[in-house]
C-alpha cells in the first residue's frame, strides 16, 4: 500500500520558526507512516519576482501539493482574529472540493461564538450589530461541517501556543488519522 500524503495546513508558515515547525510536523507524519507535505517545502525561486508574482507562484505550488495529498491536517487555532487563518480556510474548502478528508486541531477549545464575544455569551450580535452564529461549534459551521462530512474530526483543546503544544496536539491528530486508515 502506498504511503498516504498529508497536506499540513495552517498559519505555521508565518511563524518565526516556520521551518522548524514544518520539519517537526513532517517528521511526526513519517513516524506514523505518512508523508507530510508542508507548504514551505516547495523549492520556489522567488528572487526577482514582483510581490504579486511571488504570491501567485506560492499559490500554484500549494495547489500542486494539495492535489498530490490524500488528506489535509489543519492547524485551526485562531489566527489574527477569532477564527482560523483565511488561507487555511481556503485550503480546507479546496480539499473538500476534491473529495479528500480534512482534519483539524486547535489550541483554543472555546466555541466560536465565545471567542467572538468574550465575556458576554448572552448577546446575539457583535459590536457591529452582526449576528453571531451560535451552533456550539469550534469555528464557522461550514468548516466544521466539511470536517464532519469527510468522516474526519477536529481536536480542540485549551493550551498555550508554544510549538510543543502544537506538536503534541498534531501528534494526537495523526494517531486518530492512523487508526482510520
The residues facing 103 across adjacent strands are 73
pLDDT in tens, 80-132: 999 999 999 999 999 999 999 999 999 999 999 999 886 766 778 888 889 98
E strands, 10-156, where? 34-37, 71-75, 102-106, 154-156
Taking the C-alpha atoms of residue 75 and residue 105, their distance in angstroms, rounded to an integer, is 5
Identify the CATH number of the domain in which residue 157 sits: 3.40.50.450
User: How many domains, the chain?
Assistant: 1
pLDDT over 70, % of the chain: 97
Q: Burial letters for 153-164: b for 16+ Cβ neighbours within 10 Å, e otherwise?
A: bbbbeebeeeee
Q: What is the pLDDT of residue 120?
A: 64
* pTM for this entry: 0.95
Amino acid at each position: 500500500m502506498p504511503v498516504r500524503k498529508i497536506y499540513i495546513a495552517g498559519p505555521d508558515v508565518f511563524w518565526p520558526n516556520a521551518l522548524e515547525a514544518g520539519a517537526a510536523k513532517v517528521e511526526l507524519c513519517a513516524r506514523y507512516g505518512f508523508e507530510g507535505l508542508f507548504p514551505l517545502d516547495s523549492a520556489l525561486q522567488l528572487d526577482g519576482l514582483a510581490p504579486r508574482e511571488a504570491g501567485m507562484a506560492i499559490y500554484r505550488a500549494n495547489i500542486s501539493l494539495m492535489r498530490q495529498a490524500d488528506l489535509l491536517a489543519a492547524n485551526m487555532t485562531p489566527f489574527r482574529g477569532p477564527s482560523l487563518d483565511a488561507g487555511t480556510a481556503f485550503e480546507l474548502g479546496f480539499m473538500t472540493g476534491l473529495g479528500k478528508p480534512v482534519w483539524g486541531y486547535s489550541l483554543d477549545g472555546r466555541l466560536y461564538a465565545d471567542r467572538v464575544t468574550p465575556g458576554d455569551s448572552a448577546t446575539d450580535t457583535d459590536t457591529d450589530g452582526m449576528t453571531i452564529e451560535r451552533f456550539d461549534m469550534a469555528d464557522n459551521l461550514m468548516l466544521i461541517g466539511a470536517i464532519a462530512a469527510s468522516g474526519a474530526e477536529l481536536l480542540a483543546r485549551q493550551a498555550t501556543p508554544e510549538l510543543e503544544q502544537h506538536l503534541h496536539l498534531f501528534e494526537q491528530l495523526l494517531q486518530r488519522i492512523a487508526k482510520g486508515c
